[in-house]
Amino acid sequence: MGTGASFKPVQTAQLEGISQIRPRERFVYLDLIKTMAIYLVCFYHFNNLPIDILNHPSFFTYLNYGILGMASAGVPLFFMVNGALMLNRSYSLRKHVYRIIMICILTVVWGILTLAVLIPIKGDSYTAVQFVKALLEWKQYRINHLWFLQTLVCLYILFPLIKEVYDKKEKGPLYFFFGAAFLLTFGNVFLSNLANTAEWVMKVNYLEKNYNFFNNFNVFSGFYAFSIVYFILGGWLQAKLLKNRFRRPGSPVLTGIILTALIALLGYGLIMSQSNGDVFDTVFDGYDTLMTLIVTAGLFILSSRYQQGKSPRLSKGMEVIGSNTLGIYFIHVIVGWFTLPYYKLLPFSTNLLANLIYGAAVLILSLGVVLLLKKIPVVKLLFQL
């Protein structure tokens, strides 16, 4: 591809006088957020918590179900960190296009590798055609976790346009775009939440759980466009923090807001479970709810208070995890499926605390595997963008 003016480093933020992050500058609280995010992902994907609130209701079942709902902030936190870093620094369009291509390649390669490695672990069997079909359909409970990378590609394709309006002093276009994205994603889901709650009260069930009220007028249907809202929100919060122009609420207030949102998410999960006769997934189906948005933003702001000097070793550990979250995300599915059957043999495997620890174990084991594999010259390319 020839070098043209459009592929020169884009530095509109610098021209507009907006604070920028230096290329290799690290923020310890962003490492904390990434560590928290990847832990929540591991905890959500691999646990043995009893959460059947319909057939086995009890205090502990409700507690498990409510705690698991906190994992709905995991992936959104990654989107916010991406926005915090990408929207507040200059970028090269050429490198950005290369990055998009690499994400696509890595997603397909890891889809193939994960399916293959899980064959002996899960006892799967495929013909050549079935294997290709499983890959193209991103087989459930095998490689469907790669939806995050696919969404990231969609987000990165839109990034140059978002960056263009984000960097301008005139914020009207940014507010319009953010408002439209918010209305057509979170707003639409909020209408569904209200409608589903009304149906539960009236004991009817006409609408699907996430009905598109805007029909074909919704330009953001077709992919997980709620990621745009998290992305821009992360960039905006980071910019305010860099300028010390953001007045953080006190930790008790933030904690109270987060807990209130989690309780509301739990309540909605109970309503949907009773309405549909199936336990509602407050994590995956919670990403685009206002409750999860509040929890995610609250955790981001709360984490921004963390300072490196308080615990250098802890900060270094989080930096190692934060630098390897992509690899952990790829590997944790293999580690999780390999270890889960053994974990379930333990007499206390349904205990909440034990499951919280097991989630951390999956994370640490995955990190260890990633660090070992990155020492192999060619294999390390599987973890690089």
Which helix (H) or strand (E) segment is 91 a member of? Answer: strand 91-92
> What is the C-alpha to C-alpha distance for residues 154 and 144, in angstroms, rounded to an integer?
16
Q: pLDDT value at position 306?
A: 84
- Tokens 């507690």: give the residue: 63
Per-residue pLDDT of 310-349, as tens digits, reads 678 888 999 999 999 999 999 999 999 999 999 999 999 9
- For residues 204 and 122, which has the higher predicted lDDT (pLDDT)? 122
| Residue 14 domain-assigned (yes or no) | no
> What is the C-alpha to C-alpha distance for residues 286 and 293, in angstroms, rounded to an integer?
9
Domain containing 340: what range?
28-306+323-383
- For residues 20 and 78, which has the higher predicted lDDT (pLDDT)? 78
- For residues 44 and 22, which has the higher predicted lDDT (pLDDT)? 44
| Residue 318 domain-assigned (yes or no) | no
The candidate with the shortest Cα–Cα distance to 339, out of 361, 354, 356, 357, is 361
> What is the C-alpha to C-alpha distance for residues 263 and 243, in angstroms, rounded to an integer?
33
* Helical axes 28-45 vs 74-86, angle rounded to 10°: 150
Residue 245 has pLDDT above 80, yes or no: no
For the residues 58-74, what does the mean pLDDT come to?
A: 97
- For residues 197 and 10, which has the higher predicted lDDT (pLDDT)? 197
Q: pLDDT value at position 18?
A: 55
- 73, amino acid identity: A
Burial of 99 from C-beta contacts in 10 A (0-12 / 13-18 / 19+): middle
Alpha helices in the chain (DSSP H): 12-15, 28-45, 59-68, 74-86, 93-122, 128-136, 147-167, 172-182, 188-202, 226-242, 251-276, 290-303, 312-322, 325-344, 352-373
| Residue 4 domain-assigned (yes or no) | no
Q: pLDDT value at position 25?
A: 67
Contact assessment for residue 35 and residue 190, using Cβ atoms and an 8 Å cutoff: no
Residue 201: count other Cβ atoms within 10 Å of its Cβ.
10
Tell me the HSE value of 48 on the side-chain side, using a 13 A CA sphere.
18
| Residue 123 domain-assigned (yes or no) | yes
Q: What percent of the chain has pLDDT over 90?
A: 78
Structure token digits, residue 142: 């095998």
For the residues 179-187, what does the mean pLDDT come to?
A: 95
Residue environment code for 304-320, b if the CB has 16+ CB neighbours within 10 A, otherwise e: bebebeeeeeebeebbe
- What confidence tier does 2 reach under pLDDT thresholds 50, 70, 90? very low
| Residue 19 domain-assigned (yes or no) | no
For the residues 264-270, what does the mean pLDDT come to?
A: 97
CA end-to-end distance (rounded Å), the chain = 19
Structurally, how many domains does the chain consist of?
A: 1
**How many residues does this entry show for the chain?**
385
Alpha carbon distances (Å) from 359 to 192, 207, 219, 380:
32, 35, 37, 25
Per-residue pLDDT of 200-235, as tens digits, reads 888 887 777 778 888 888 898 878 999 999 999 999
- What confidence tier does 13 reach under pLDDT thresholds 50, 70, 90? very low
Q: Three-state SS for 137?
A: coil
Paired with 9 in beta bridges are 92
Instruction: Specify the pTM.
Output: 0.91
Residue environment code for 150-164, b if the CB has 16+ CB neighbours within 10 A, otherwise e: ebbebbbebbeebbe
Contact assessment for residue 280 and residue 269, using Cβ atoms and an 8 Å cutoff: yes
> What is the C-alpha to C-alpha distance for residues 191 and 195, in angstroms, rounded to an integer?
6
The candidate with the shortest Cα–Cα distance to 139, out of 116, 156, 172, is 116
The candidate with the shortest Cα–Cα distance to 12, out of 204, 206, 173, 230, is 173
- 13, amino acid identity: A
| Residue 22 domain-assigned (yes or no) | no
Q: pLDDT value at position 310?
A: 67
> What is the C-alpha to C-alpha distance for residues 238 and 85, in angstroms, rounded to an integer?
8
